[in-house]
Amino acid sequence: MGRGAVWLGLLLFAVAWFVPVHEALGLSDQLPPGIDRLEGATSARVPGIYRGPHGWRACRAAWDVLTSREDRKGFESTLLGLTPLLNGVMLLGAAVAFGGGSARRARTVGGLLLVAFVWALGWLYWTDGEFRRGLQAGYWMWAASFALVGTAFLGARD
């Protein structure tokens, strides 16, 4: 893999923000079904919170898993609630791609991107079947972009 895979992954990441992520996010201002099994997650309505591009709605819903809960913090809901921060890792990858960083830096960021990919897959592991069935193309594109750019960066040569 090379630079073409990096650019394709970055494009996939950008497009994923405008493609539906979960069937429930386009229908209401509630957390998607299946999230409520996570400790502390609530489905309380917060008017207007999920407006904007599909990726933004998904980020807000994930962040709400972290922030709209009681004093008790569950491990799974904390990890899932922090998934919006994974976007920062991809932005770091974009900075390396655009900035022409060293091969060593590219490999380091590639490793971080693969960790982010595995973390992003937590939405498959720590949620129930109803939630998983509602995942749409935007989620898969978003997750795949981390794997594609990360793998391409790991192949960087000095």
**Residues written for the chain:** 158
CA 42 to CA 35: how far, in whole Å?
A: 8
H or E element at residue 87:
helix 86-99
Q: Say how far apart CA 62 and CA 100 lie, in whole Å.
A: 32
What pLDDT was estimated at residue 45? 43
The model's pTM is: 0.82
- Give the per-residue pLDDT at 89: 96
Q: Give the mean pLDDT of 140-156.
A: 94
Cα–Cα distances (Å) from 78 to 69, 95, 122, in that order, read 10, 27, 11
| Domains of the chain: total | 1
**For 43-82, how does the pLDDT look when each residue is reduced to its tens digit (9 = 90+)?**
444 434 567 888 988 988 888 888 875 545 688 888 888 9
Indicate the pLDDT class of residue 93, thresholds 50, 70 and 90: very high
